Amino acid sequence: SNSSDSNSNGDQTTYEKIMEKGVLTVGTEGTYQPFTYHDENDELTGYDVEVAKAIGEKMGVDVEFSEITWEGLLASLDNGTVDLVLNQVGVTEEREEKYDFSDPYLYSYIALITTGDNTDIDSWESARGKKTSLNVSSNYAAIAEEYDMDITASETFSKDIELLTAGRTDCVINNTIAFNDYLIQKPDVDIKIVDVLEDADTVAIPIPKGNEDLVEAVNKAIAELQEDGTLTQLSEQFLGKDFSHELTAEEIME
């Protein structure tokens, strides 16, 4: 056997295997609009899906998608069924112990939301002790508790907004992308962002540790997609605003 075969028994890195095969396998849910879903022609699309395709294009390989439930996504990355996962994976300290992350391809900010006519709440501090509703297992619960808010349990952001506009709560805590998406669906609902937390919540691509060459290739692709405007265009197309880079509070609230 020639020397190139002797390498294909597992000495190859994931990146080398991808490049040799010419295929990047990406795990995604396919059920989470506007990030990964099936359009009216049953085509898999969404911000994360199109970003994955664009990364493959920059790397010079085909992209194949594997649709997996959220519970199984990271496990399929761990066992090598997929090479990458693009599915709104937030960068957390807990996940960073297990994975290296690419540079972010999406930035959201935790926002304090009120009805358009609310003059009472204009900052986190002025929301102290007020009524809110939220999914108690979400990362927003800790913020509500920090400001001693009176919390009603709720499952969804749209339910939170219903309670808010019905006057049953005073404010909602969620992120800028969910807020924007809601207004795309329901432009007549009069809500506004009055304050945001300064630090962005970043969405990036988890990559099992020990794959420095793959991290580097993915980061190179993301940097090119940032520079050539592809990420901006995709974010505007699917999310209604450019969330592909960091924003100031002024830019978020305009």
Q: Residue 10's pLDDT is what?
A: 61
Mean pLDDT to the nearest integer, 138-164: 96
How do residues 67-84 score in pLDDT, each as one tens digit?
999 999 999 999 999 999
Alpha-carbon torsion, ordered 107, 109, 113, 119, to 10 deg: -120
How do residues 4-27 score in pLDDT, each as one tens digit?
444 445 689 999 999 999 999 999
How do residues 91-129 score in pLDDT, each as one tens digit?
999 999 999 999 999 999 999 999 999 999 999 999 999
Mean pLDDT of the chain: 94
Q: Residue 251's pLDDT is what?
A: 87
Mean pLDDT to the nearest integer, 49-58: 98
pTM here is 0.86
Query: What would the two tokens of residue 98 be?
Result: 């297990």
